[in-house]
Structure 1
Amino acid sequence: MSVRGVRGAVTVERNEEGQILDATVELFNAIVAENGFAPEDICSVLITVTGELDSTFPAKAIRVMPGWELVPVTCALEIPVKGSLEKCIRFMLHVNTTKTQAEIKHVYLRGARLLRPDLSKA
């Protein structure tokens, strides 16, 4: 078993708590489903947001999901690179898995598909 990193990102239309929390759950559920992870597999989740998303902590959405309460989750501010994708929530999950790096499925949703078209489903 190895520790692997799993990436993902999603965008929202507006800086509203409901949109941020809903997008966070959507992305988290997609990553878990695509990779077949259980709560015990996940070492930690780092979530970053772009500067204009300041109405809530995205981690709040995962902390209240049944079965996921003990997974360590934290939030940080994405570095403000000029011209970068706005209203974006990015994930880095650290997981214990027998999957190889090539078998890990990274998930990019909505406008965040632009970040990694090579990893995004059409």
Structure 2
Amino acid sequence: MRGIRGAITIKNDTEAEIFAAVRWMVTEMCRHNGVKPDDIGACILSATEDITAAYPATGARQIPGFDWVPLFDTRQVAVEGGIPLCIRALLLVDTDKAPNEIRHVYLNEAANLRPDWMKRK
């Protein structure tokens, strides 16, 4: 089992933006790593305190094949100077890939969280 990380920012705290952002981020995490929903043991999603319009997991539930993927929402730790309007994800997946073969996905302003990983594309 391996963990795949992802993060994305939104411009506005609306249900539509939250759902679209989560669908894009999680779909890209799966696509870049050759992961199918049946490979996923769990998907943990966190949101900064300024995201209140919807549960991010509801957006992930809209992805085809995610009917049976266990999803969990949580709140990110509020850190001074942190990136606002940010949703993070951790997919726990069954894969034979080595840790250095995993491709983590950071979109929009969240790319600033892990510039070291973004260089490996």
Provide the TM-score with structure 2 as the length reference. Answer: 0.95
Write the distance in 2 (CA, Å) between the matches of 1:46 and 1:66: 17
Which structure 2 residues correspond to residues 1-122 of structure 1 after superposition, within 5 A?
Answer: 3-120=1-118
Question: What amino acid does structure 2 have at the position aligned with 1:68?
Answer: F
Aligned residues: 120
In structure 1, runs of 5+ residues without a counterpart are none
Write the distance in 1 (CA, Å) between the matches of 2:79 and 2:93: 28
SS of residue matched to 1:74:
strand
Write the distance in 2 (CA, Å) between the matches of 1:8 and 1:66: 19
Q: Is residue 23–residue 60 contact of structure 2 (8 Å, CA) maintained in 1?
A: yes
Write the distance in 2 (CA, Å) between the matches of 1:84 and 1:91: 16
Following TM superposition, where does structure 1 have runs of at least 4 consecutive aligned residues deviating by more than 6 angstroms? Answer: none
Q: Is residue 27–residue 63 contact of structure 2 (8 Å, CA) maintained in 1?
A: no
Q: Is residue 62–residue 69 contact of structure 1 (8 Å, CA) maintained in 2?
A: no
Q: Is residue 9–residue 107 contact of structure 2 (8 Å, CA) maintained in 1?
A: yes
Question: What amino acid does structure 2 have at the position aligned with 1:13?
Answer: K
Question: What amino acid does structure 1 have at the position aligned with 2:7?
Answer: A
CA-based RMSD? 1.1
Question: What amino acid does structure 2 have at the position aligned with 1:91?
Answer: A
- Percent of aligned pairs with the same amino acid: 36
In structure 2, runs of 5+ residues without a counterpart are none
SS of residue matched to 2:35:
coil
Write the distance in 1 (CA, Å) between the matches of 2:63 and 2:112: 28
Write the distance in 2 (CA, Å) between the matches of 1:76 and 1:46: 8
How far 1:61 sits from its partner (Å)?
1.4
